[in-house]
């Protein structure tokens, strides 16, 4: 349904069958001797122009200083569901609204730009993931993306769902259509299905760009159990050979291979197929700021990082040397503003979550303590001093903070936000416990991040108190400070959402030592 009016798409999507609540946090592909630079970082920009070597294949430099290219390619991938700024840097950066503003700026310079995405768009594979995926597809189409590589996270949605999200029949052959692409994936045992396409050629800047893509078979372990009759992952080498033969017949000016793959495997393919002037690969590190691009033989090899924090801007200079200029642009809030049309898409996404009542209708899970949540007011009947302290903290106002949210969009129906701003959810897996917060109408007694998110649901504690088993009741709810620091607070105060978090400092704000 790529290319549909977004509201028509959502109307159709509302009829889709829920794919369940499965899905794990994404795991980066293993790297060969890859540096570990996924921790805190400062804004980085390349101030000086650096030639790769004497053969003049590429220059790495700030895009603002480039001469006008023949055309430009906007390169992204492995967003993992982060459509808004995130990360442990200060300030946080990324987001599709800033990405769109960057593209607006370069188009105002007179550049022709097309987008290519390596896949890995989502974090989970459940109904909310489908809604978010549709938002991203609409956004990528608006940003004039031409291809989305089918990666692990897309495959978790299922072949049938991906087929349902393909471009409109009348748009499939259009050069400007956004298409799913992979040369070595086959759905339902048929090579006649329209998705994914094996290769494509499109024109930009008066030149022909030919491209294909592959999915690394070694990554299939990340899919868990999947039906090989639904999704076949074939050897990429013969698939590339077949795609190359068809691409060469079109006589493109630039040949591109996109790899949703272990970077080491991507480099081997770059060596094996030197016909590709450009290979774009998923990355083993979140922020690949150094040694990027590199040369693999005569092929320019590029990575773009994770979580949408950066956009790889590649300038193509068809009749000059160097042929390419590259800038891994950090999407900060100073140079890039929030695009209104992307804000509109995100508002519509939140409206869908509200209308679908997703937070209260998706299946819940049992709490390990096998107890029910009772709410802070009930706790406060006995623990008066601790309750009074809690009411003064930001935890108590957690739900209220969602009403304005980032970009002025309310998030009070978004499970990914409710999981930390209300009581009774598993924050990292974004799953509601039985008796946990559902909605303002049904469970207002669980507004905010309350006592039971740390100490566990209180119904069994109350029963023990009423049975005069006081010591057992205390033991059931006891939480040692070291345990809280190691296993509890970080569930919400992680690097992506709480970059300033320091346990010792934050604990002072909520400390409640009283035993009344």
Read off the pLDDT of residues 168-177 as tens digits, 9 standing for 90 and up.
666 767 888 9
Does residue 234 belong to any structural domain of this protein?
yes
Residue 43 falls inside a structural domain: no
pLDDT at 404: 84
Do both 374 and 331 map to the same domain?
no
CB 322 within 8 A of CB 57: yes
| pLDDT score of 90 | 64
Find the range with the poorest average confidence among 18-22, 110-114, 400-404: 18-22
Q: Residue 162: its pLDDT value, please?
A: 95
Q: Give the pLDDT confidence score for residue 169 in this predicted structure.
A: 63
Residue 402 lies in a domain: yes
- Examine the pLDDT at 89 and tell me if it is beyond 90: no
126-179 pLDDT, tens digit per residue, is: 899 999 999 999 999 999 999 999 999 999 999 999 999 987 666 767 888 999
pLDDT above 50 for 29: no
Supply the pLDDT for residue 10: 40
Whether residue 348 lies inside any domain: the answer is: no
Nearest to 253 by CA among 272, 278, 280, 270: 278
Identify whether residues 110 and 198 lie together within a single domain: yes
Q: Could you read off the pLDDT of 473-511 as tens digits, one per residue?
A: 999 999 999 999 999 999 999 888 888 899 999 999 999
> Do 453 and 390 share a domain, yes or no?
yes
321 and 407 share one domain = no
Question: Which tokens go with 95?
Answer: 């987001």
Average pLDDT over residues 83-89: 71
CATH number, domain with residue 255: 3.60.21.10
Residue 22, number of CB atoms within 10 A of its CB: 12
| Residue 180 covered by a domain | yes
**Domain presence at residue 291:** yes
Look at residues 217, 216, 166, 161 and name the one whose alpha carbon lies nearest to residue 195. Answer: 166
> Looking at residue 15, what is its pLDDT?
30
Q: How far apart, in whole angstroms, are the C-alpha atoms of residue 162 and residue 372?
A: 39
φ, ψ of residue 295 in degrees (nearest 5): -105, 135
List the domain range (segments joined by +) for residue 427: 368-510
pLDDT value, residue 85? 83
Whether residues 295 and 338 share a domain: the answer is yes
d(CA 465, CA 471): 9
pTM: 0.86
The pLDDT of residue 87 is above 50:
yes
Give the integer Cα–Cα distance in Å for 197 and 147: 10
Is the residue at 351 inside a domain?
Answer: no
What mean pLDDT is reported for the chain? Answer: 87
Q: With respect to residue 504, please indicate whether it lies within any of the assigned structural domains.
A: yes
Number of domains in the chain: 2
Alpha-carbon span 252 to 254, nearest angstrom = 5
> What share of the chain in percent tops pLDDT 70?
87
CB contact at 8 A, 119 and 149: yes
Given a cut of 90, is residue 38 above it in pLDDT? no
What does the pLDDT look like over 432-483, one tens digit per residue? 999 999 999 999 999 999 999 999 999 999 999 999 999 999 999 999 999 9
Q: Residue 403: CA atoms inside 13 Å, Cβ hemisphere, count?
A: 7
Above 80 in pLDDT, residue 28? no
């Amino acid at each position: 349904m790529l290319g549909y009016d977004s509201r028509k798409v959502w109307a159709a999507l509302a009829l889709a069958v829920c794919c369940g609540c499965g899905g794990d946090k994404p795991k980066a592909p293993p790297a060969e001797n890859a540096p570990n630079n996924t921790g805190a970082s400062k804004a980085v920009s390349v101030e000086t122009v650096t030639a790769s070597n004497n053969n003049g294949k590429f220059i790495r430099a700030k895009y603002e200083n480039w001469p006008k290219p023949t055309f430009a390619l906007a390169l992204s991938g492995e967003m993992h569901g982060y459509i808004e700024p995130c990360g442990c840097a200060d300030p946080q950066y990324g987001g599709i609204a800033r990405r769109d503003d960057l593209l607006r700026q370069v188009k105002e310079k007179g550049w022709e730009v097309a987008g290519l995405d390596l896949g890995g768009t989502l974090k989970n594979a459940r109904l909310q993931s489908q809604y978010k995926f549709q938002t991203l597809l609409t956004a990528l189409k608006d940003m004039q993306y031409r291809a989305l590589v089918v990666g692990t996270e897309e495959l978790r949605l299922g072949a049938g769902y991906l087929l349902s999200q393909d471009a409109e029949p009348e748009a499939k052959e259009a050069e400007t259509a956004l298409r799913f692409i992979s040369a070595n994936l086959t759905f339902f045992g048929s090579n006649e299905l329209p998705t994914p396409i094996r290769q494509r050629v499109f024109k930009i800047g008066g030149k022909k760009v030919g491209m294909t893509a592959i999915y690394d078979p070694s990554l299939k372990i990340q899919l868990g159990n999947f039906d090989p009759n639904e999704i076949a992952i074939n050897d990429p080498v013969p698939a590339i050979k077949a795609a190359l033969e068809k691409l060469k017949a079109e006589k493109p000016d630039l040949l591109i291979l996109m790899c949703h793959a272990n970077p080491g495997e991507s480099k081997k393919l770059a060596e094996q197929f030197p016909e590709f002037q450009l290979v774009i690969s998923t990355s083993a590190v979140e922020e690949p700021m150094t040694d990027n691009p590199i040369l693999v033989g005569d092929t320019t090899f590029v990575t773009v990082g994770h979580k949408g924090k950066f956009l790889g801007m590649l300038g193509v200079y068809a009749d000059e040397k160097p042929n390419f200029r590259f800038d891994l642009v950090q999407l900060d809030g100073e140079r890039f503003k929030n695009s209104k049309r992307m804000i509109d898409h995100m508002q519509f996404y939140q409206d869908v979550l509200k209308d679908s009542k997703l937070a209260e209708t998706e299946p819940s899970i049992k709490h390990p303590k096998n107890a029910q949540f009772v709410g802070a007011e009930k706790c406060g009947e006995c623990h008066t001093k601790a309750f009074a302290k809690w009411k003064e903290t930001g935890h108590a106002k957690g739900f209220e903070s969602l009403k304005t949210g980032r970009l002025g969009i309310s998030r009070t129906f978004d499970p990914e936000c409710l999981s930390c701003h209300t009581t009774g959810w598993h924050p990292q897996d974004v799953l509601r416990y039985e008796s946990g917060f559902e909605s303002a109408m049904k469970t207002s007694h669980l507004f905010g991040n309350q006592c039971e998110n740390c100490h566990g649901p209180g119904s069994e504690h109350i029963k023990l108190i009423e049975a005069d088993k006081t010591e057992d009741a205390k033991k059931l709810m006891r939480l040692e400070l070291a345990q809280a620091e190691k296993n509890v607070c970080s569930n919400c105060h992680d690097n992506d959402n709480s970059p300033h978090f320091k346990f010792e400092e934050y604990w002072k704000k909520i400390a409640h030592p009283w035993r009344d």
